[in-house]
Amino acid sequence: MGNIEERCASIRAQIAETEAKLARLKLDLANVEQAAAASTTQDAVSGMQGKNKSNWPLLDEEYKRYGRQMIVKNVGLQGQLKLKSAKVLIVGAGGLGCPSAMYLASAGVGTLGLVDGDTVDLSNLHRQVLHHSGNVGMLKVDSAIDYLKKLNPHLTYIPHRGHLTPQEAPDIFKNYDLILDCTDNPATRYLVSDTAVALGKPLVSASALRTDGQLMVLNYPPRPAGDKTGGPCYRCVFPKPPPADSVVSCADGGILGPVVGTMGVVQALEAIKIITAPAGEAETNGVPGNPTTSPSLLIFSAYSTPPFRSIRLRSRRPNCAVCSAEASVTLDTITSGSTDYVFFCGTANPPSLLSPEERISAAEYGRIVQQSLPSRVQSETLSKTKPPMTIDVREKVQFDICHLDNSINIPISEILASRPQLQPTEKDDQALSNGTGAGSQSPLPPWFPADIVSTDSTDPIYVVCRLGNDSQIAVKKFKELGLDRGGERFICDIRGGLRAWRNEVDPTWPEY
């Protein structure tokens, strides 16, 4: 046993050493690519300057390219020169990062870095506008830069291929003037904000889900920890992360493309405002009582009138773990791993609420469905076999996209809004069959179909959802409501949900 433990410890040490070496190699590659890109850009600029033989601060082509924004008084020539010398890092090359990068590149930001470890998927294309069908499977960073180089070849583009880690974040961030958080999970948002504050970098943070979005400019002006004149950080606004199980991704909650595009465009706008701001203007940001400069939370709702509204934010929290005088999160705690972002935000593991006996596979359910179908040689009597009682607990909008034959839609939101009922008694049978309740019992929920609450039925109930998570919750709720009649009626969920149905039974099932 001792030898096995020693061997395991040795392997773990080798893995840690290899991962550290890989991180160093990635950083070296990024630095070499940055130097090469800068050299190429400088050579191109020098060549064009040689051709132009001009003493003007911009190239002839740049005056024409950026002229429409330079004549805006908020920008001007000096603002354009600031943009040209600025270095901006975009963390995330998805729905927010794509429009942000597109408009910053178009505006002439000199150096644009992108961090992302994902590849382009077909489901990304309705909102991630830098990618296209031909780049499916390609790293998002490479796909985005491929487009951006064609949009504006004068910039230096730096790819950071990989998901942002606490060990690499400070070394990446230190080379940039401004950070844009275009990520989609709390752990990375806290990491980005903490690192930006520790290095004194302003941060533009945004998020979007379904038809809503929000945006904040954080750590602006950037100040050392304990300086009350600095802008608040992400932890000042959200000292505690949301419960892990309450975090909904775009894949689960959905997203309207123009919504996330709107927030990404506003991120780019805020970045341009920060870069081109006159010297000293940022000094007044965050001053209490100044409504024009106080930090704020911009909220966007596509189906509200008006769609935009703004909420003033408080200045730095006096007990903030990052930007207060009592800061406990520093560069050392970030890079060493002692600030554990996964632990802090929690992990949203799929619930395992049911025993194996309360679950069946999609393949098993498929056989049950097949057995209920009449064959050509069956008699008229046998052909009337009832299909299995199946309840689909997805929301109606998803049920309308596709659903199993003969399934009944009862959204999980309606189920969770119901209160547990008392177990039915013989005196309550008639009332239960009518769905009205009796005696001291409360009325049963209105979503109960009559054939489910029928007192003389012991037919099994099969519950399905998209991934096999909500269906488990629904089964537990059905039993709390007494639908299993103390175990007399079998209620189970389909393990893995409709995704498993596609993988195990019907490959033509729509994947959305």
Q: Tell me the binding residues for ATP.
A: 95, 116, 123-127, 140, 184-185
Q: Tell me which of 98, 250, 345, 402 is the catalytic residue.
A: 250
User: Residues with Cβ < 8 Å from 33, sequence gap 6 or more?
Assistant: 158, 159
Task: Give the separation between CA 333 and CA 190, rounded to whole angstroms.
Answer: 13
Q: Which amino acid is at 339?
A: T
Residue stretches of the annotated binding site for Zn(2+): 233, 236, 320, 323
The verdict on whether 465 is a catalytic residue reads yes
Helices 60-70 and 76-85 meet at what angle, rounded to 10? 120
Task: Give the separation between CA 493 and CA 472, rounded to whole angstroms.
Answer: 6
The pair of three-digit structure tokens given for residue 79, joined into one six-digit string: 């603002």
Give the count of beta carbons closer than 10 Å to the beta carbon of residue 297. Answer: 14
Q: Tell me which of 98, 182, 465, 492 is the catalytic residue.
A: 465
Q: Three-state SS for 283? A: helix
Residue stretches of the annotated binding site: 95, 116, 123-127, 140, 184-185, 233, 236, 320, 323
Per the CB < 8 A criterion, the answer to whether 124 and 147 are in contact is no
Per the CB < 8 A criterion, the answer to whether 94 and 128 are in contact is yes
The verdict on whether 345 is a catalytic residue reads no
Per the CB < 8 A criterion, the answer to whether 197 and 225 are in contact is yes
Task: Give the separation between CA 246 and CA 82, rounded to whole angstroms.
Answer: 42
Pairing relationship of beta strands 389-392 and 461-464 according to DSSP bridges? parallel
Per the CB < 8 A criterion, the answer to whether 476 and 353 are in contact is yes
Peptide bond into 306 cis (omega under 30): yes
Q: Three-state SS for 494? A: strand
* Active-site amino acid positions: 250, 465
